[in-house]
Amino acid sequence: MNTQENRLNKIIDKIKKNGHRLTSQRIAIIKYLVESSNHPSADEIYSSIKKDYPATSLATIYKTISLLKSYNELLELEFSDKGSRFDGFSSSPHPHFICTRCSKIEDAEIETDSIVKQINEDAHFQIEYFKMNFYGICSQCRNIK
């Protein structure tokens, strides 16, 4: 079993234990989120799930998103101009690279543990979570002239 399968099973167990209804649609949405490392928008999730589950509504997508968020199993990246993107692949806070041309979002492999540790030790401030975004132009966009 790979990491994402483990993660999916863990989330499904949690939801069942709390007595929430799990339809096959809902499981498909959770599976999609857990397996997507490209930070999809709600519309992207919706159009992908609709292929297999035509009866799915955007409301079902949003309900599943808030359920996962309430379990701290989904990161929401909020943008005032373009709407939110979601990371169910990895739900612990991590930094992101965001392309200002094509809106691609990638996980930035930057070590943040020491920064968090330093703030917790130096400042009178206990960090619960953080949001760290780096904006620029992705390699794909730089190749296009």
Residues that bind Zn ion (CB under 5 A): 87, 99, 101-102, 104, 107, 138, 141
Residue 31 CB, nearest distance to Zn ion (Å)?
17
What is the closest distance, in whole angstroms, from the C-beta atom of residue 84 to Zn ion in the complex?
A: 13
The distance of Cα 68 from the centroid of its chain, to the nearest Å, equals 10
Q: Closest CB to Zn ion among 25 and 90?
A: 90
Residue 66 three-state SS: helix
Nearest-CA neighbor of 30 among 67, 81, 77, 82? Answer: 67
- Integer Cα distance of 111 and 61 in angstroms: 32
Shortest Cβ 121–Zn ion spacing (Å): 26
Nearer to Zn ion, 48 or 95 (CB): 95
Q: Between 37 and 47, name the residue whose CB sits nearer to Zn ion.
A: 37
Q: Are 52 and 45 in contact (CB under 8 A)?
A: no
